[in-house]
Amino acid sequence: MASSRTQGHNWERDCITKLAEVLELEKFQPKAKNEFTAEIGSSRMFSRRLDNEGIDIWMKELFANIQCKKTLSKGKSVTTIDVQSLLDLEKKFPEEINILLTRITQPAKSRERKLAEVMVVPYELGIKMLTLLYEHTRNKE
């Protein structure tokens, strides 16, 4: 089984890939040597300052502070998510959009089994997102 650090980095890469696809951004790819044209990548690669602030995903046009966490759930009937990193971002950047992306896994025989992938946002941001979804759904009718 990979170390928890490696699993966390893999989750971060999965998030970057998904966001690049959905937002139609050029993802940083080391083999392609596209660091000058990339629009999204790991803050470990692009910005030590962002990485030190707890922001995992770098975007050329940064519009949100995104932290990625991989959580191992050992409970049988209760699964918890550690939201401390989101609270830390909220304290450092109260006027900005702060998001926690979490992959929750459970121990299995030789590997871990994925339970869920969730996005945790502050309440006010969640209300804004729901409002936009509602308006988008109504406009489709």
Region 16-35: what's the mean pLDDT?
A: 88
pLDDT of 20 reads: 93
Determine the Cα–Cα distance for residues 126 and 134; give it in Å rounded to an integer. Answer: 12
Q: What share of the chain has pLDDT > 70, as a percent?
A: 98
Tokens of 138: 């109504």
Determine the Cα–Cα distance for residues 51 and 67; give it in Å rounded to an integer. Answer: 10
Q: Report angle CA 24, 27, 29 to the nearest 5 degrees.
A: 155
Q: Report angle CA 61, 121, 132 to the nearest 5 degrees.
A: 75
Residue 92 vs residues 31, 78, 86: alpha-carbon distances, Å: 35, 30, 10
Determine the Cα–Cα distance for residues 58 and 40; give it in Å rounded to an integer. Answer: 6
Region 48-57: what's the mean pLDDT?
A: 92
| Band of residue 76 on the pLDDT scale cut at 50, 70, 90 | confident
pLDDT in tens, 104-138: 988 877 788 888 999 999 999 999 999 999 999 98
The whole-model pTM stands at 0.87
pLDDT of 1 reads: 57
* 85 pLDDT higher than 90: yes
